[in-house]
Amino acid sequence: MDSKLSKSAILGLTSTKEWRQSFTHLPIIRRMSQVCHLTYSAIIAAAFRNGDYDTGWEYMETMWKEGKEPQDKVFLEWVRQCGGAEKTEEKMALANILFRYLCTFEIFPQLPVIEEIAKLFKDSLGWSSHYVKLSSRGRCPACREELECLGVDEEEFKQLQPYPVI
């Protein structure tokens, strides 16, 4: 079996209840090339869809370490899991996990994902949302709060000073 066939097998298996069988194909791909973001995304989405959240986030971390970014379907599946939770507290907890990972992995989701998150908060949690444009200073026109500035302290500045800005 070659890496292309293994990738196809993974993409097929992850859409079935036998999605865990896809793990056996990863070593084949790794022997011949790198696992691409499409393959990882399929595995992560399948893990989320089947309630194996730890495995999904574990593969997400692997992707991040390899410098790859997941497809939107990964986050859309997580939002579906949030919406499927029975209790409000559970929905909030799952949403907070998503936000924590987005922050940790420095991922800025695409508009379809943002829209689904907004829909989840509006429909399931009774929240409202507004699309706003922040000023260059980071001030929100709706709530007038200002984002925390990512400044450099004196010590960091002195360490960076000798290096030219490109």
Looking at the domain assignment, is residue 147 inside a domain? no
pTM (2 d.p.):
0.80
Main-chain dihedrals φ then ψ at residue 38, nearest 5 degrees: -65, -40
Number of domains within the chain: 1
Task: Determine, yes or no, domain membership for 124.
Answer: yes
27 occurs within a structural domain: yes
Task: Judge whether 61 lies within some domain.
Answer: yes
pLDDT at residue 166, rounded to an integer: 54
Domain CATH number, residue 20: 1.25.40.10
Q: What percentage of the chain reaches a pLDDT higher than 90? A: 66
In this structure, is residue 145 part of a structural domain? no
DSSP string, 87-104: SHHHHHHHHHHHHHHHHH
Is a pLDDT exceeding 70 seen at residue 155?
A: yes
pLDDT in tens, 16-72: 999 999 999 999 999 999 999 999 999 999 999 999 999 999 999 999 999 999 999
Q: Looking at the domain assignment, is residue 15 inside a domain?
A: yes
Q: Is residue 110 part of a domain?
A: yes
DSSP structure class, residue 139: B
Q: Stretch 121-141: mean pLDDT, rounded?
A: 84
Its domain, for residue 88, covers 3-128
In a domain, 164, yes or no: no
Predicted local distance difference test score (pLDDT) of residue 1:
66
**Residues in contact with 71: Cβ distance below 8 Å, sequence separation at least 6, in sequence order:** 37, 38, 41, 45
For 79, half-sphere exposure in the C-beta direction (CA atoms, 13 angstrom radius) is: 22
What's the number of CA atoms in the CB half-sphere (13 Å) around residue 95? 21
